[in-house]
Amino acid sequence: MTDVLLQMQGINKNFPGVQALKEAHFEVRRGEVHALIGENGAGKSTMIKIVSGVYQPDSGDIQLDGRAVHFGNPREAHLAGIATIYQELGLYPELSVAENIFMGHAPMKKRLGLWTIDWEQMESGAEDLLAELNIHDLDVGAKVGTLNVGNRQRVEIAKALSLDAQILIMDEPTAALTESDVEQLFSIVRLLRERGVSIIYISHRLNEVFELADRVTVLRDGETIGTQQVSMTSEAELISMMVGRKIENLFPKQVAQIGDVVLEVRNLQRPPLTRDISFSVRAGEIVGLAGLVGSGRSETAQVIFGVLPAESGEIVINGAPVKINKPSEAVAQGIGYVPEDRGHQGLIREMTIRENTSMAVLETVSRHTFINRAQERSLANRSIQQLSIRATGPEQITNKLSGGNQQKVVVSKWLASEPSLLIMDEPTRGIDVGAKAEIHRLMSRLAAEEGLAILMISSELPEILAMSDRILVMREGRLVGEFSRDEATQETIAHAMMSEAARQAASAAP
Amino acid sequence: MPSAPRNPTVVEKLRRHLISQEGVLFMIMLVSVLFLATRTDKFLTVDNLLQQGRFMTEVGLIAIPMTYIIITGGIDLSVGSILGLTAIVLGWSWQELGFPLELAIVTGIASGTLAGFVNGLFIVRVGVPPLIMTLATLALFRGLAEGISKARSARGYPEWFFELGQGEFLGIPTQLWLLIVAVLVFGIVLARTQLGRALYAIGNNETGARFSGLTVNRYLLLIYTFSGFMSGVAGYIFVSRVSTTRSDMGTGIELDVIAAVVLGGTSIFGGTGSVAGTMIGVVLIQLLKNGLALSGVTSDATIVVIGSVLIFAILVNNFIQTRRGGD
């Protein structure tokens, strides 16, 4: 055989109502970073779940190292040297780093005639594994729950290595990481590649694909569209492979008529992450709120929405001062909030599209507190049409939708409440290029045609720059800059986001 | 691909109902009844069944708010103690304080309601987990009842007082009418109103419900208070049925109630459940108890059988739901 480690051919997988994979194929060479990309619903997750033994294909061949294999469950895949690092990390927060790494295969020794865990060996083993990854600053006795996301991910990688993984699957590993954590992750990935570990890397961020991967395979609607050498392709080519069409304008911003002030906040105070915040948003205006993770953007949004009520300060809606101490009061004032954490805060995933879209407007779809299902259903149908949500119908459980479509359901919930101000916290995080453009188009249209005031929080500077009429920058809980659309550039915003110390460090560096 | 939703045919609808949680349970109930009927001819008689309806009303009434609470992912262990407290306050305020009996009844139920309100207040405002809070008040309310009663029982109620617990209306035990009305009303409330929708939303994802602007705290406070109220009403019926007031009334009833609710398909983790399912659970447990006793099975063995049926029903149901749950 050549250096092909994993070979999948003619893979079919059906779920009731959907063919998730159609004659898909995929191969991974020894010691390469192979990116797997595609829109949500393209079949990436199904593909890796088949590789990792969570699902079994309906038909198709899988060869590992030239031998046909069949994984009946995740454990068999594990034993064959395939480890997966999921988006939701599979660690035990109450246990130590070492215990997590050796979960299920702790080193044992006989003491007083009983097999017990050999704690010393476990800790030194954990230290060795971390050292192999160039990680020297992690206390193996620390509880995993006390670590930040980046460190937890490193623990997970060490855990995979403790099982001698030949193939490491990483599903959106950078989704929740800060910049510096991302850098560290990349260097670990490169280190592993040098050691001959193959990495299947799933990401929505094309720049990561170009930075890290050797080859890239694109899936669309369950089919393999093609595999490319990363050095031989371009971002534009990959996008057109992913969506099957050219996306003309990634950030379609319409010119809007800016109207009266809808929201004005004065000296909002809720330390540590909301300190003396004052700003306003006008009808038809999209105000971008930029800042690093932890700068207090979401917290400020939640102060306005009443999740974290303000300790002092004023909120003025359409000229009238109001008190907002809980979300229901914010909703009553015509504020909608599309939160950052879609699955936990935005949706009730176990419930249907119908039930989710009416969640904020139960009053209006009810008569004498009795919910009118027909009215609810027509509301849901309207949302499905207006936002082109890809679903089997209003009775579909939202959990079964792709990320982009879930986000559209959250947005439609708030549109149903006919808000005058919509706060959108990372509106396009983790959703695919096509759905992203649709959400941007929708935001533009809502502002321009319906005069909706939008406060958009985003960590993506291109999104902030392209969509905003005005840009606010937060740092350490304070508002530290305001830029008009014309004066804002990537540099000015990034500069304002960083602290003095970071700025000095950045300018001191060569 | 968006495909047009098909309207289910009658057969499909019937099948879906049959393999629903309630359908499975109903079938188990039918089988049990038929089996018990072959063991003794005293079981399947109108008189006996009506008598059982009388006995199960208290559990049934309390099981309604318990269903609501468990749907939100909570629990109320204090219902038995609230029942006892209500009974004692009723008897004591009539006999010792000299209240007119009508007022004593209202006072009793009001104290039960207040007890539930206290539960709710601590759960919502202080953030005490429902299990801990109601475990504490399980002891606290019982202690209060014993303190007030000083181990004396109240008896000698006038004849009209027994109408609810021992009387009949149109040939059916009076309290059973109350249960039937309550089941219909509160079953519809759960299935069709904003309150019901909010309870399911809270049970599935409390944060998501809050972030959608639902007044989560208000709903929770309401259902724990409702639980106190219904336990109070059950306390009144209990006293009326057994003609006397003792402080240990309702001891352990919380377990019967929770068993019935869970047997009826309400997930202990919250998010699913129905009043109809709960009522099938209540009826099934009561019929098994009675039928086995009439067949000459000892009470120890009866408990074993009921436990086994509970496990069996849950297994069968899990099996069917996972078979179906591929979608």
pLDDT in tens, B170-222: 988 999 999 999 999 999 999 999 999 999 999 999 999 999 999 999 999 99
Q: Which of A369, A391, A393 sits opposite B194 (nearest CB)?
A: A369
Distance CA A96, CA B99 (A): 63
Question: Chain-wide mean pLDDT for chain A?
Answer: 87
Residue pair B67/B264 in contact (Cβ under 8 Å)? The answer is: yes
- Chain A residues contacting B via beta carbons under 8 Å: 15-17, 305, 307, 326-328, 330-332, 337, 339, 344-351, 355, 359-360, 362-363, 366, 369-371, 384, 390-395, 413, 417
Q: Tell me the three state secondary structure of residue A53.
A: coil
Q: Is B2 on the interface with A (CB under 8 A)?
A: yes
Cβ contacts of B211 on chain A, cutoff 8 Å: 305, 307, 327, 337, 339, 345-346
Q: Over the stretch A394-434, which tens digit does the pLDDT of each residue have?
A: 999 998 888 889 999 999 999 999 999 999 999 988 787 78
Q: Tell me the three state secondary structure of residue B67.
A: helix
pLDDT of residue A107: 85
Tell me what the mean pLDDT of segment A180-194 comes to: 87
Distance CA B277, CA B284 (A): 11
Domain check: are A213 and A300 in the same one?
no
Domain check: are A287 and A346 in the same one?
yes
Say yes or no to pLDDT of B1 above 50: no
Residue pair A456/A464 in contact (Cβ under 8 Å)? The answer is: yes
Domain check: are A480 and A336 in the same one?
yes
Domain check: are A233 and A330 in the same one?
no
Domain check: are A284 and A213 in the same one?
no
In terms of pLDDT, which residue wins out, A325 or A221?
A325
pLDDT of residue B325: 43
Q: Over the stretch B49-101, which tens digit does the pLDDT of each residue have?
A: 998 999 999 999 999 999 999 999 999 999 999 999 999 999 999 988 889 99
What beta strand segments (E) does A186-308 contain? 198-202, 215-220, 223-229, 261-270, 274-282, 286-290
Q: Per the domain annotation, does A97 fall within a domain?
A: yes
Domain check: are A162 and A206 in the same one?
yes
**B5, A344: Cβ pair inside 8 Å?**
no
Q: Over the stretch A377-386, which tens digit does the pLDDT of each residue have?
A: 999 999 999 8
pLDDT of residue B17: 66
Q: Per the domain annotation, does A259 fall within a domain?
A: no
Say yes or no to pLDDT of B45 above 80: yes
For residue A88, name the pLDDT band (cuts at 50, 70, 90): low
Annotate B201-266 with DSSP letters as a single string: HHHH-HHHHHHTT--HHHHHHHHHHHHHHHHHHHHHHHHHHHSSB-TTTTTTHHHHHHHHHHHTT-
pLDDT of residue A504: 60
Q: Per the domain annotation, does A464 fall within a domain?
A: yes
Task: Calculate how close chain B gets to A480, using CA atoms only, in Å.
Answer: 28
Distance CA A359, CA B202 (A): 11
Task: Calculate how close chain B gets to A307, using CA atoms only, in Å.
Answer: 8
| Count of C-beta atoms within a 10 Å radius of residue A305 | 25
Tell me what the mean pLDDT of segment A329-348 comes to: 92
Pairing status of strand A4-15 against strand A59-64: antiparallel
Domain check: are A305 and A450 in the same one?
yes
| Count of C-beta atoms within a 10 Å radius of residue A493 | 21
Pairing status of strand A478-484 against strand A470-475: antiparallel
Question: Chain-wide mean pLDDT for chain B?
Answer: 88
Say yes or no to pLDDT of A2 above 70: no
In terms of pLDDT, which residue wins out, A248 or B195?
B195
Pairing status of strand A470-475 against strand A286-290: parallel
Question: H or E element: which one contains A386?
Answer: helix A373-386
Residue to substitute from B71, B189, B199, B212, interface A, most A β-carbons within 10 A: B212
Taking Cα atoms as reference points, which of A204, A215, A219 lies closest to residue A22? A219
DSSP code of B159? G
pLDDT of residue B28: 84
pLDDT of residue A501: 57
Q: Is B166 on the interface with A (CB under 8 A)?
A: no
Cβ contacts of B4 on chain A, cutoff 8 Å: 393
Residue pair A261/A420 in contact (Cβ under 8 Å)? The answer is: no
pLDDT of residue A437: 86
Tell me what the mean pLDDT of segment A102-110 comes to: 84
Residue pair B190/B196 in contact (Cβ under 8 Å)? The answer is: yes
Q: Tell me the three state secondary structure of residue A496.
A: helix
The yes or no reply on domain B47-309 and CATH 3.90.700 is: no
Q: Over the stretch A14-71, which tens digit does the pLDDT of each residue have?
A: 876 677 899 999 999 999 999 998 876 688 888 999 998 989 999 999 999 888 998 9
Residue pair A260/A283 in contact (Cβ under 8 Å)? The answer is: yes
Q: Is B308 on the interface with A (CB under 8 A)?
A: no
Q: Is B198 left (phi over 0), alpha (psi -120 to 50) or beta?
A: alpha
CA dihedral A501, A502, A506, A508 (to 10 degrees): 20
Q: Over the stretch A224-242, which tens digit does the pLDDT of each residue have?
A: 999 999 999 888 788 778 8
Task: Give percent of chain B with pLDDT exceeding 70.
Answer: 91
Whole-Å CA distances, B304 to B40, B78, B292, B311: 20, 25, 11, 11
- State pTM to two decimals: 0.77
Taking Cα atoms as reference points, which of B272, B324, B309 lies closest to residue B25? B309
Tell me what the mean pLDDT of segment B144-162 comes to: 86
Alpha helices in A200-312 (DSSP H): 206-212, 235-243, 297-305
Mean pLDDT: which of A259-273, B33-47, B216-230 is highest? B216-230
Taking Cα atoms as reference points, which of A399, A292, A318, A310 lies closest to residue A353? A399
Q: Over the stretch B275-316, which tens digit does the pLDDT of each residue have?
A: 999 999 999 989 988 888 888 888 888 888 888 888 887 787
Cβ contacts of A413 on chain B, cutoff 8 Å: 212
Whole-Å CA distances, B82 to A123, B58, B60, B154: 52, 12, 15, 17
3-state SS record for A97-127: HHHHHCCCCCCEEEECCEEEECHHHHHHHHH
Domain check: are A179 and A286 in the same one?
no
For residue B222, what are its two tokens?
């309401």
Cβ contacts of A298 on chain B, cutoff 8 Å: none
Domain check: are A359 and A428 in the same one?
yes
Handedness of CA A164, A170, A176, A181 (dihedral sign): positive
| Count of C-beta atoms within a 10 Å radius of residue A492 | 15
**Pick from A243, A269, A295: which residue ends a domain?**
A243
Distance CA A363, CA A56 (A): 45
**A327, B211: Cβ pair inside 8 Å?**
yes
Task: Calculate how close chain A gets to B255, using CA atoms only, in Å.
Answer: 28
Distance CA A351, CA A369 (A): 20
For residue B4, name the pLDDT band (cuts at 50, 70, 90): very low
Helix, strand, coil in percent for chain A, rounding step 5: 35, 25, 35
pLDDT of residue B3: 43
Q: Tell me the three state secondary structure of residue A412.
A: helix
Domain check: are A212 and A349 in the same one?
no
Domain check: are A67 and A170 in the same one?
yes
**B5, A392: Cβ pair inside 8 Å?**
yes
Q: Which of A345, A359, A390 sits opposite B2 (nearest CB)?
A: A390
pLDDT of residue A1: 41
Domain check: are A310 and A446 in the same one?
yes
**A344, B208: Cβ pair inside 8 Å?**
yes
* Closest-CA residue of chain B to A384: B2
**ipTM field:** 0.84
**B201, A359: Cβ pair inside 8 Å?**
yes
**A328, B192: Cβ pair inside 8 Å?**
no
Say yes or no to pLDDT of B252 above 70: yes
Which residues, numbered 80 to 109 in chain B, qualify as contacts with chain A under a Cβ-Cβ cut-off of 8 Å? none
Q: Which domain holds residue A287?
A: 279-508
Whole-Å CA distances, A211 to A24, A195, A215, A227, A510: 26, 19, 11, 17, 21
Distance CA A431, CA A374 (A): 31
Cβ contacts of B210 on chain A, cutoff 8 Å: 307, 326-327
Whole-Å CA distances, B142 to A303, B137, B155: 43, 8, 20
pLDDT of residue A352: 93
Angle between helices A403-416 and A433-450 (to 10 degrees): 20
Task: Give percent of chain A with pLDDT exceeding 90.
Answer: 43
pLDDT of residue A507: 59
Q: Over the stretch A357-366, which tens digit does the pLDDT of each residue have?
A: 999 999 899 9
Distance CA A264, CA A182 (A): 36
Amino acid at A398: T
Q: How many domains does chain A have?
A: 2
| Count of C-beta atoms within a 10 Å radius of residue A405 | 22
